[in-house]
Structure 1
C-alpha cells in the first residue's frame, strides 16, 4: 500500500489530498479508488513557496512527505520548469522533488488534470445534460469549462491509457450567430481588438455580457461582480442579469458544438469548471441544446455526441491521482 499526495493549486488556494493506493489492483483489474479520502485546503498567500506549503500540508495530515506526488497547477510547465500564473512562484520540478525527498513528482496543468479525471470519475460525479446512444468510447473526448477563464483539452484513447492534448481553445474568436450577439461583439470591439470565447464564457464574461446588454439597451450598467450577475440573474432580480446568464448558456451550447466538431469528439463533450453547475437549472430555459446542434450539415454529427457535466468540485484531485498512478512505472511495480 502506497500513500500518494495529490494537489490542485490555483492562485488563491491549494487543495491537497491523500490517496491510499494498492499497486496489486492494477495487475488484477481490481477497483482502484482515485478519491482522496483525506483532504485539506490551504491559502497560498500564507506560504513563501511551494515546498513550504507542501511541508505544512503533510504536517497537518500528520504524515511524512509521501514518496509519490502529483501537483496540478494553474500555470505553464515547460522543460521541467513550472510557473504559477497568479503567484510569484517558479520552481524546477526535479529540484522540488529532491528538496522534499520524493521518489517521483509529477506537475501538470490544472485543466489537464481535470480532463484526465473524466474517465475515472464515479457516476454520481457527472450529470448527463444530453444523452446519445451513438457516442463512441474509442473516440476522443473534449473537456471544456468556464471558470475564472475558459479551459479546454482533448482526451484521446492511447494503448489502454489516455493522452491529454492541452489546447488554448478559450482564446479562439467568439463567433456571434444572431443579431444580439453581433451587437455584443460590436460593443466589445470598441474596447479591444480581439474578442475571444473566454471573454464571454468566464466569470468576467458574465459581467462583460451584462455591460454589453446594458449599453445596447441604453441602460447604465451597475458595478456588478460575476457573483452579482449570476445571483441576480438566477433569482430573476434584474432583467439584464437574467438575459446575461441566459445568453451565457446559449453561447456555451454553441461553443460546445464547435469544439466537438473541431476535435472530432465522438467520445463525448464534458463540461467542467465552477460556473456551469450553478447555472445548470437555467439550461432548459435557454437555447443551450438548440445551439449545440445548430451546425448546418453537421447537425446530425453533433447530435450523436453526448454532453456531461462534472459536478465534483474536487475532480482535479481525482485527475492528479489517476495521472500519478497510470504514468509512474515505478509506482506500478512498487
Structure 2
C-alpha cells in the first residue's frame, strides 16, 4: 500500500468553504487509485488527497474506500471507473478483480447517497485535457514547437483488452465517445505477420484486435511466434515476455514485441482515419510505458503512417505515450463534474 502523495494540483485549505467534495476511484486488476476531489466556491477543482491500494490486500472495494475516508468525511458522492459487466442486482464484476463492485453496498457502508460507475477507458478519455502535461514520449507527428493540433483526441490503451475512446471539445461541454475498437478485425499484408495471424486463426473464425493488442494478447502472439519457429514457449506472463525482449537474449520474445509494435501502429493509424483524430493521439495505460524506448525504435511510427495517400494527413497528427498514473482518477472526476448536475 502506497503512502498518500500530494498531487501537482494544490491541496484545498481546510479553512476554505467547500462547494463540492467527492471521491474518484480508478479500479484496476492490480491496484485501486483513489482521489479526494474538492472545489472551493468560485475555484478550480483540486485533487486534495491521493492514495494507491493493492486489490489483493483488501476484502472489498468498500473496505478500501472506507479506509481512505477515515479522515475525510462530508463527501457528496463516489464515482468509480472500472471495467466489467453489470449484473441484475446492480453489482459489477470483472475477470480481473478479486471481488464484485456493489454501488448499493458501497453507498450503505460509506453513508454516501450518490455512487456512480463509469467505464474505465471512458474515464481515461475524460482526462484528455490533462494528458499533454503527462506525455513522456512522442512517437510521431509535429513537435511541440509547431502549431497545436486541433480536433478530436483519440485515447488508446492496450491493457487487459484494447480500449479506445474519442474526446471532442464541444460546447457547452466536451463529449466522450466510447468505442469497441478492440473488437475490430485484425489483418495484415506483411508476410511474417500474416503467417503468425494464420496460426492464431486456426481455432477461431474471427480475430479481433485485442486478441493480440493487449496484455493477454501479447501472450497469444508470443505462443504463435514460438509455434511458427517450432519452439516451446518459455514465458507465461506478458511481463515476462517484455522483460525477455528488452533485457535477455531472447530472439522469439523480441520478434513477438516487434510484431506487436508494428500491428499496434497500423491499428492506431486506422483508428486515426476512422475517427478523424486530428487533435492528437495518446497511448495510455497498460504496459506500453515499460516498452517506451523499444516502441519508439520499432516499426510503430512507420506502420502508423503507411496508409497510402493518407500519409500526409497522418503526419500532422501528434502521437504520444503518456503515463497512466492519476489519469483514471482525474478522468472519473471530470466525468462526474460534467454530469453531476444531471445525476443529483
- 2:253 matches 1:244: no
What are the residue-to-residue correspondences of 1:29-178 with 2, within 5 Å? 32-33=45-46, 35=47, 37-43=49-55, 46-48=58-60, 50-59=61-70, 62-64=71-73, 66-76=75-85, 81-86=90-95, 87=97, 89=100, 91=102, 97=107, 100-102=110-112, 104-121=114-131, 123-132=133-142, 133=146, 136-137=149-150, 139-178=151-190
Q: Give the TM-score, by structure 2 length.
A: 0.83
Select the structure with the greater relative contact order (CA < 8 A; seq sep ≥ 6). 1
Within the candidate set 35, 51, 59, 1:17 is matched to 35
Q: SS of the counterpart of 1:211?
A: helix
In structure 2, C-alpha distance between the alignment counterparts of 1:32 and 1:17, rounded to whole Å: 12
- The 1:220–1:38 alpha-carbon spacing in structure 2 relative to 1, beyond 3 Å, is closer
- 2:247 matches 1:235: yes
Contact (CA 8 Å) 1:121, 1:318: kept in 2 or not? no
In structure 2, C-alpha distance between the alignment counterparts of 1:261 and 1:65, rounded to whole Å: 46
Deviations 1:301-327 (A, max 9, x none): 211211122214221011112222232
Moved more, 70-79 or 211-220: 70-79
> Which 5+ residue runs of structure 1 have no aligned equivalent?
26-30
Aligned length: 321
Deviations 1:161-196 (A, max 9, x none): 221111111111111130011101100111222211
What corresponds to 2:4 in structure 1? none
Q: SS of the counterpart of 2:187?
A: coil
- The 1:22–1:110 alpha-carbon spacing in structure 2 relative to 1, beyond 3 Å, is same
In structure 1, C-alpha distance between the alignment counterparts of 2:166 and 2:34, rounded to whole Å: 25
Q: 1:236 offset after TM fit, Å?
A: 4.2
In structure 2, C-alpha distance between the alignment counterparts of 1:267 and 1:248, rounded to whole Å: 25
In structure 2, C-alpha distance between the alignment counterparts of 1:312 and 1:190, rounded to whole Å: 35
Contact (CA 8 Å) 2:79, 2:118: kept in 1 or not? yes
Contact (CA 8 Å) 1:142, 1:269: kept in 2 or not? yes
Q: Give the TM-score, by structure 1 length.
A: 0.86
In structure 1, C-alpha distance between the alignment counterparts of 2:312 and 2:147, rounded to whole Å: 11
Deviations 1:75-113 (A, max 9, x none): 2459994522225525456x7546643354332111111
In structure 2, C-alpha distance between the alignment counterparts of 1:135 and 1:193, rounded to whole Å: 43
Q: SS of the counterpart of 1:328?
A: helix
- The 1:239–1:44 alpha-carbon spacing in structure 2 relative to 1, beyond 3 Å, is closer
- 2:15 matches 1:4: no
What corresponds to 1:267 in structure 2? 279
In structure 1, C-alpha distance between the alignment counterparts of 2:117 and 2:89, rounded to whole Å: 9
What corresponds to 2:11 in structure 1? none
Q: SS of the counterpart of 1:221?
A: coil
In structure 1, C-alpha distance between the alignment counterparts of 2:262 and 2:214, rounded to whole Å: 14
Deviations 1:31-52 (A, max 9, x none): 544x45331314267325x444
Contact (CA 8 Å) 1:11, 1:74: kept in 2 or not? no
In structure 2, C-alpha distance between the alignment counterparts of 1:122 and 1:97, rounded to whole Å: 34
Contact (CA 8 Å) 1:125, 1:311: kept in 2 or not? yes
Q: 1:144 offset after TM fit, Å?
A: 0.8
